[in-house]
Amino acid sequence: MKAVIFDMDGLLVDTEPFWRKAEIEVFAEVGLSLTENDCRETMGWRLAEVVALWHSRQPWSEPDLKSVEGKILNRVERYIRHQAKPLPGVAEALELCKSLGLKTAIASSSPMRLIDAMVDRFQLRAEFDGIYSAEHLSHGKPHPEIFLNAAHGLDIGVRDCLVLEDSIHGMVAALAARMYCAVIPAPEDADKAPFAAAHLQLNSLLELDAKHIGGLG
């Protein structure tokens, strides 16, 4: 391995509760009564895809889709900047990568402003060699474009990259990019059968060690 690519939501920071809270609040304003399970259905999707899905299922006339996206995004950014906490093992995983001489990057489906909010709150910007968002790419996960973009930016071959992911969509994207993938699902998702496709499954970033990384490839 020459590089480790980190997802953000659900891996570095538990933003999923913020997303669910913001989506439930904003979609309620246009007449949709979403549950937390409804929101989990679109975990790992780009925001535009989430809004388009719910509009297709239960159309509303006003405000337009971009306005709804903006409202959700504003709320999530506010929650991240004021309430977010790093998940266990973030500092240790980054230190491990540094000790092994590996390049590091974030590759997230989230808009760049949310990635910026997270790295600023945790003061992690200097810890990454690249920060990439799928916001303006043609495709979101499970398409591999975001990971291919990150590998290109790092100037590292895909078979020399390890992706750390928490979602099935993200895992599929990493495998489609022909990269190695370690999954760290939320406890309630850990037994889902598709995760067996990953090269490695851990309970938290605290479990990641040099043997895991060295054993790939």
Q: Is 7 a catalytic residue?
A: yes
Question: Which of 54, 83, 112 delimits the end of a domain?
Answer: 83
Whether residues 39 and 109 fall in one domain = no
**Percentage of residues of the chain with pLDDT beyond 70:** 99
Q: Return d(Cα 139, Cα 112) in angstroms, integer.
A: 15
- Number of domains comprising the chain: 2
The whole-number pLDDT of residue 132 equals 98
pLDDT tens per residue across span 29-88 = 999 999 999 998 887 677 888 999 999 999 999 999 999 999 999 999 999 999 999 999
Q: Of 9, 120, 189, 191, which one is the catalytic site residue?
A: 9
Whether residues 74 and 106 fall in one domain = no
The domain in which residue 34 lies consists of 16-83
Whether residues 132 and 107 fall in one domain = yes
